[in-house]
Structure 1
Amino acid sequence: MPTTLAIEAACLSAWPALSTVHDGAWVWRFAHGYSKRANSFQSLDLADDGDAERRIAYLAALSSRNGIEPVFRVTPLAGPGILEALDRKGWAPFEESRVLAMDLDGHDFARTGDVRFFNPTDPRWFRAQTALSAASAKTVEILKTLLGLIAPEARGIVAYAPDGTPAAAALAVNAGGIGVFLNVVTDKTKRRQGYGAAVMRAALGWTVENGARYAAIQVTTENEPAIRLYEGLGFVEQYRYHYRRPA
């Protein structure tokens, strides 16, 4: 399996931010508040935990100046000095997520049903994805911008119901040989009918066909139906992360 750093790097590449600031091995990201992954800061090196309290304060101030909540993303790459500093400053943990991964070697993901592939900026995929997720007008505009910034090869995927309406959608990105899957969503009225599995099998198949050796996906710990779906496809938990914010 890929290392934690390899998975984190792939996920950062797959989901861009509008602005980034680097402080040693720490990275601060900004995207007008759309998704915490693109609006938080984190460390990518377990050993780079020195002077943590000052650095947290600096990046937190940068967040506030740009109109987003100061949030630290705590992964296994956050060193003990960072955790101690967050505790001293009273930053409270919230929203734990699991990072699941799988080795794609030897897997064959047969496509089922009416599943179609699009460029992520194609209006057909974009409209399906935002409609299924019931996105606000502000979110739609930010998402449209972020999708245009994805540098690695990517595909938007939609599974359609027999009546031709979108039933599920996902975004697949081949980030340096690791297939990363984002924005997986199923119509609330069509859940447990196989559409989520169909769109994920198609996404996994596309990454295999395009040379990815591994796959990774992030999912909140409380989303048990999604976790069961991904584990049924072959994903295995690698590590967990959570966020911290000022109490």
Structure 2
Amino acid sequence: MTAEELAELGRQAEAAGLNATSPPQESRIEGWLIRLSPGQAKRARCINALEAGTLPVEELLARSARSFHAAGLPLVVRITPFTQPPDLDARLAAKGWPRYDAAEVLVRPQLDDVMGWPLPGGQVLHAVDALEFARQMGALKGSSDLEIQAQAERQSQSRVPYQGFWLRRNTIRGWELLACGQLAQEGEWVGLYDIYTPEAFRGQGHARNLCLALLQQACTQGARRAYLQVGEHNAAALALYRGLGFLSAYRYHFRSPADDLR
């Protein structure tokens, strides 16, 4: 695959990811997409500067800050290779805004080779609704009630449908939750979200089994390409996804005023 082809897949994955993480609390200021969800996911409570707009950057930042602070949220700007204006990252760095929580977006250019990988004996993929998924994930991660409610609201009302799944195993002690994750499918693109393995079951290949099962599920629904996002320092997850055929397409990070990080 050429660099140009991978870059184009990255642009498509960015568009799909923006659609999939759209919360009800969304508006625009000129060409900047403002998202104000109170949940944990910063992608749903940040500025995505999609177009340069006609207003000066300082005015756009000031208007955005008023919206975030009125919602009781810190001001967060998401910086990608597609951010406008192109020098926005440098401008925020010059203002002393720290860079944090960098992540990689990975893509899998095709899915037709994932079929035919059966789950190990006794393991099953079980579908769950958005509220049940948010509650279980919240319990596993120690999320607040507000964060759980925000995740369930965002995903149940998303214009790109979310499908939550447990990977479970039936034992003499009953059902064990081995891993969990979600699909967000839009046309030929599917995003993998919230891939999580409870601590007691890590290092046993369950996340790999889950991802393969999710990709197979998406493939039967017409998906042909996949994307996901992972923290750039999460070496174990990056190794897992690259071993599953995902390629690094681009990186993004966040910036906030120092006062909003306290």
TM-score over 0.5 for the pair:
yes
1:233 matched to which residue of 2? Answer: 244
Q: Which residue of 2 aligns with 1:206?
A: 217
CA contact under 8 A between 1:91 and 1:245: conserved in structure 2?
Answer: yes
Match among 9, 15, 22 for residue 9 of structure 1 = 15
- 5+ residue gaps, structure 1: none
Relative to structure 2, which stretch is displaced further, 66-75 or 134-143?
A: 134-143
Specify which of 107, 112, 124 is matched with residue 119 of structure 2: 112
- Shift of residue 24 of structure 1? 3.5
Q: Which residue of 1 aligns with 2:230?
A: 219
| TM, length-normalised to structure 1 | 0.90
Residue 155 to residue 74, structure 1, CA distance change in 2 (3 Å): same
Alignment of 1:1-247 (within 5 A): 1=6, 2-45=8-51, 51-78=56-83, 79-109=85-115, 110-113=117-120, 114-121=123-130, 123=132, 125-163=133-171, 164-247=175-258
Task: State the 1:156 CA deviation.
Answer: 1.0
The CA deviation string for residues 121-153 of structure 1, in whole angstroms up to 9 with x for no partner, is: 363x45543333333333222222222112334
How far apart are the structure 2 equivalents of 1:3 and 1:230? 17
List, as ranges, runs of 4+ consecutive aligned residues in structure 1 with deviation greater than 4 Å. Answer: 47-50
Deviation at 1:238, TM superposition (A): 0.4
Q: Which runs of 5+ in 2 are unaligned?
A: 1-5
Deviations 1:222-243 (A, max 9, x none): 1111111111111010000000
Answer whether contact 1:117 1:155 (CA < 8 A) is retained: no
Mapped to 1, the partners of 2:34 and 2:131 lie a distance apart of 29
Paired residue total: 245
